[in-house]
Amino acid sequence: MNGIVRISADAAARACGAEQVVRAFEALGWTVERVSGWGMQWLEPLAEINGVGWGPVTAGRVADIAGGSADDLCIGPVAAHPFIAGQQRLTFARAGRTRPLSMEDYAATGGWAGLQRARSIGSALVLDEVIKSGLRGRGGAGFPAGIKWQTVASAAGPRKYIVCNADEGDSGTFADRMLMEGDPFALIEGMAIAAGAVGAQQGYIYLRSEYPDAIAVMRAAIDLAAQRIAPFRIEVRVGAGAYVCGEETSLLSSLEGKRGEVRAKPPLPALEGLFGCPTVVNNVLTLAAVPHILSEGGAAMYADLGMGRSRGTMPIQIAGNVKYGGLHETAFGVTLRELVHEIGGGTASGRAVKAVQVGGPLGAYIHPGDFDIPFDYEAYAAADALIGHGGIVVFDDTADMAALARFAMQFCAAESCGKCTPCRIGSVRGMEIIERIVNGGRKADAVEVLPQMHNVRAAARGLEEQVALLEDLCETMKFGSLCALGGFTPYPVLSALRHWPEDFGLVQAAMA
């Protein structure tokens, strides 16, 4: 019996072989509906028939599924799966349930209601509701979105812009990609609401070139929604492989057609942003959370979730060496232990968890002893860590933390925009110091031992001195860098050094 099967068109599903599965179903005469991904990526490609899911499917098992005999792959009703049922999905409410480019599906699931209401209540009330919802920037800095919007709204300028930061370069993060590929109209609606609230006419989505699928979907969605959001216009601009362009001032430089160099703040982009005009720069997830907040009663509901000053939900991305990797949107306050062991199911390799990096390449490595820390901007900051864009990368006990610390410095050196010295040169020196620590200290070089070098100490530098030097350097980078790239690279380095000194060959050395 032939019917309708729903298979995700998300890049993660496609990379796992969804296209072959689609062709196999079509060859059997089935109708295939391409939907967004549920975010259960260990099950991709996931085939859904009448609400019941099978995964991970290979083309060879399609006939079994069609014939009703693939019970080993069956996960039962998808929406009731514990991974999905345990979440509080607001931003990702449509994930898995709608066709990404279907205007009917979007409207049928509450789409455009936020924009319509925003237009009817006027910009002052919109700003008020966004502030009251407690929504904070989801890109990493966690700045209150409503305050930013208000600054732009009250700034004077010939033009104003809404810029969406879709340069999701952090390793371990994919929520922006999933949202743009799966629910593009939500982002468009969020941008249109922001535009109405601050008085902007033009919006840009700065999307990284590593996301070809998201670029195609966003462009198609913008064409379809052009009438809805008029006179506001949105254009997708494609990045060119520079990680630092995820930093807002660097992103603005890049949009202007310049080198993606960081600018000093102030002036804030809210006052002098793109082409010198007042500009809202928000992350994809921030803007996509807005339609829900602006729906009837949405702001109060959003503010009721979460803990402390972190209100609402956070789409957390569980990645790396983890059994059940995917997207888990839930209210702030969840602990890493729950995320890694209960929801993520521990490591994919079955070995012990050694470390978890939270917040991308600039986030701290967190030791299993600290897994009770709640997911909250302030709690992480207090623990010398950051939640960043909400990506968590799990490592098993084969991970070499010294190598990862060195990689953090190497990555910073490769991606530094070059504008400020602590980042540009500090990262290279940091890499060298870590190498010297791992190699057991530093011997005096050929020049230093020359008899005429009176002022140079010929004795070898001990490990403690190298460690002190690394800590000093990290201090300089942290407080002297212009942006988060140089400023936060010390987090992974110092956390690795503090919690796993044995990986650096520092077992005896007294560590704080």
Site residues, other proteins (CB under 8 A): 11-12, 14-16, 41-42, 44, 168-174, 176-177, 202, 209-213, 235, 237-243, 254-261, 275, 317-322, 325-326, 348, 357, 361, 391, 393-396, 399, 404, 407, 411, 415, 417
Residue closer to other proteins (CB basis): 257 or 266: 257
Distance CA 49, CA 372 (A): 39
Q: DSSP states of 231-294 as a string?
A: T-EEEEEE--S-GGGGSHHHHHHHHTTS------SSSPTTTS-GGGS-EEEEEHHHHHHHHHHH
How far apart are alpha carbons 76 and 88 in whole angstroms? 20
Least distance CB 195 / other proteins (angstroms): 16
The minimum distance between CB 494 and other proteins, in angstroms, equals 16
Burial per residue of 241-254, b for 16 or more beta-carbon CB atoms within 10 angstroms, e otherwise? ebbbbbbbbbbbbb
Q: How near is the Cβ of 408 to other proteins at its closest, in Å?
A: 9
Beta carbon nearer to other proteins, 243 or 488: 243
Q: Which helix (H) or strand (E) holds 479?
A: helix 463-480
Residue 4 CB, nearest approach to other proteins (Å): 26
Smallest distance, other proteins to C-beta of residue 10, A? 10
Q: Which two tokens stand for residue 249?
A: 């001032």
Residue number with CB closer to other proteins (118 or 496): 496
Name the E strands within 131-248: 161-166, 202-207, 233-238
| Closer residue to other proteins in complex, CB, 129/176 | 176
Contact between residue 307 and residue 333 where contact means Cβ atoms under 8 Å apart: yes
CB of 364 to other proteins, least distance (A): 12
Q: Token digits for 464?
A: 């403690």
Nearest-approach distance from CB 257 to other proteins, in angstroms: 3
Looking at the Cβ atoms of 311 and 328, the one nearer to other proteins is 328
Bond preceding residue 368 cis, omega within 30 of 0: no
Q: 257 or 297, CB closer to other proteins?
A: 257
Nearer to other proteins, 114 or 320 (CB): 320
Nearer to other proteins, 15 or 121 (CB): 15
Helix/strand/coil (H, E, C) string of 317-337?
EEEECCCCCEEEEEECCCEHH
**Cβ proximity to other proteins, 310 vs 357, nearer residue:** 357
**Would you call 441 exposed, middle or buried from its count of C-beta atoms within 10 A (0-12, 13-18, 19+)?**
middle
Q: Which is nearer to other proteins, 260 or 312 (CB)?
A: 260
Check if the beta carbon of residue 357 is closer than 8 Å to that of residue 393.
yes
Closest contact distance (angstroms) between CB of 512 and other proteins is 25
DSSP notation for 380-449: HHHTT---TTSEEEEEETT--HHHHHHHHHHHHHHH--SSSHHHHTHHHHHHHHHHHHHTTSB---TTTT
d(CA 250, CA 262): 4
Nearer to other proteins, 238 or 463 (CB): 238
Alpha carbon distance 344, 325 (integer Å): 6
209, 219, 234, 386 from 224: Cα distances, Å: 22, 9, 12, 38
Question: Minimum distance from CB of 143 to other proteins (Å)?
Answer: 24
Q: Which two tokens stand for residue 400?
A: 């070499």
CB of 495 to other proteins, least distance (A): 13
CB of 184 to other proteins, least distance (A): 15
Q: Which residue from 506, 364, 512, 386 is spatially nearest to 434, judged by alpha carbons?
A: 506
